[in-house]
Every structure is written in structure tokens, then in C-alpha cells.
Amino acid sequence: MLHARRGCLHLFDAEVTDGSALAISDRSGGVRFDVRARPCASRSKILGLKEGALQVALAAPPVDGAANAELSRLLAAALGVAKRDVVVVAGQTGKRKIVEVRGIDAATARAKLCSLLV
């Protein structure tokens, strides 16, 4: 899809909505998966999947950890866990992140995220 805004052209790739493409790894007491964040969005939401990673739009700017805090809040609400159980373990300052969610297994996480993608 091509999107024109303020004289600039942006090409957004088609997003996959099949949850089986999401690479989730089981850890002791939780799961890990890749996230691609788009900060400074108009509202926070899960956009879909791309290359095995969950794409999310975040309303917070990437300043002083605000986007990471918003990501934790969004994923905690989506997965039904506490915010303290969602931790960005890699990519704190980048758009590509690895997130660990404690207190949930891979099958449950995949099912909850897939229900949001459809």
C-alpha cells in the first residue's frame, strides 16, 4: 500500500495476519518474541506480523523509555498479564526489540495475539 502525506511518499509492506508466523520461544516461566515498534503513532495498537515479528504502533515518543513503557502496557493488556511481567530484554533504544513475557506459555500467548490480529 502506498501512502502520501505532507508531500512524502511512504511504502508500507503488506502485513501478515496469520499468527502461526509469529516466532515465539518458550522460556522458563514465560515466552520471548520479536517486536517491531513504530513510535509516535496517533494511538497504540497491534498492527500485524512481519518477518516473524509482531508489529506495534506506539502513541509514545522514543524518549526516556516512554515507548518501551507504552509497549509493556499494550502487551500486558493484550496478553492478560501485569505490566511488570513484560520486559524488553534487547533493543531498548531501537525499533526492533526482543520482549519477554513472564507467567504465560507460548500456546496461550499465540492464541491471544492471533485473536487480536483477525
Cell reading at 34: 520479536
Total domain count, the chain = 1
Answer yes or no: is 12 within a domain.
Answer: no
Query: Position of cell 499468527?
Result: 19
CATH code: domain of residue 25: 3.30.1200.10
Return the pLDDT at 112: 87
Cell reading at 47: 498492527
Write out the residue range of the structural domain in which residue 76 sits: 17-117
Beta strands (DSSP E) in the chain are 2-5, 8-11, 24-27, 30-38, 45-50, 53-57, 86-90, 96-102
Would you say residue 117 has pLDDT above 50? yes
- 12-59, pLDDT tens digit by residue? 443 444 555 778 888 888 999 999 998 888 888 888 888 888 899 998
Answer yes or no: is 67 within a domain.
Answer: yes
